[in-house]
Amino acid sequence: MTTTRSFALALICTLPLTVTAYEWQALPETAPAPTDNPTTPDKIALGKALFFDPRFSSTGTVSCFSCHNVMEGGDDHRPTSIGVHGQVGGRNAPTVWNAAFHVAQFWDARAPSLEEQSKGPPVNPIEMGMPNLDATLKRIRDIPGYRPLFAAAFQGEDTVTMDNAAKAIAAYERTLITPDTPYDRYVKGDRQALSAEQIKGMETVAAIGCTSCHAGPAFNGATLATGPGLLMKFPVNAKSEYVAKYALTKDRGRYEVTKQDADAQLWRVPTLRNLVYTAPYFHNGAVKTLDEAVRVMASTQLDKKLTEPDVKAVVAFLEALSGNFPEQTMPRLPATPGTLLE
């Protein structure tokens, strides 16, 4: 994406949409998969094992699951995550639930797919701390029990590759979706699925302009852009009292990837689904409660001060975006050779 387009997409986020103009959409029952990585049961099983396995970190102690707890909200509830050797990262761990519906991954949209995203944490010096992907792949190859899992999931003579590992993890993550929320049932025709207050909150969300950014079935803007996805300038209202209170401009967002001034404070639009499970909020995890997050967004993005009844109604609607999570069971991992972590 060019920086000009990045800035243009950011401006979209300040344009209000009326209730009547907005088309509410239910989340699909399945997540889309790329043509070169169709989702299969064997691939899901392998990806799940890799997702839960801490042996692909330098210390053998940190896995994808460490920061993305799929037994709950798909994150770790810390302001910023803790990696190998107790190191603290710079950003809040985004939920992995419904990440399959993002058109780009990470807060700064630096990965174009789940496949590419899964290659990042192992070699991040703070997160999993492996020196490179070759070292990560060697760890996988040195565990004999993984070989039949790769052979079942992929075709070819040498199936144990980093690309295949990434594809398997992505396939598993595409099962982590929550389509059956009260909101989804409501827009499909069940008019009893939402309370009167939740409906009021739904109307308020559209009326004040939240859906300008949080569009689409996942409320993440994915229907409005391709490439790196819809990038939101945050904060828009630099005069908001919350900017200094929560240090919202200390991290410059996508600028940290591109080093282009036009990309400063641009962020991938996060989903609004399952927010009751993912506190604390925002890229730095500085806001602890959902009602405060609503006040912050109204002020920083829309230059509005909501009444407390409106805040309560919006929170009630956001609570209706929490779905029935597919049951998760811990995988049985292949045995560890005694020389693996030497």
Round to the nearest angstrom and report the end-to-end CA distance of the chain: 43
Residue from 127, 173, 292, 319 carrying the catalytic annotation: 127
Active site (annotated) includes residue 127: yes
Asked if 301 contacts 236 with a C-beta cutoff of 8 angstroms, the reply is: yes
Q: Quick one: tokens of 256?
A: 């940290």
Integer Cα distance of 230 and 64 in angstroms: 25
Residues with Cβ < 8 Å from 310, sequence gap 6 or more? 204
Helix axes 133-141, 162-173, angle to 10 degrees: 80
Enzyme catalytic residues = 127
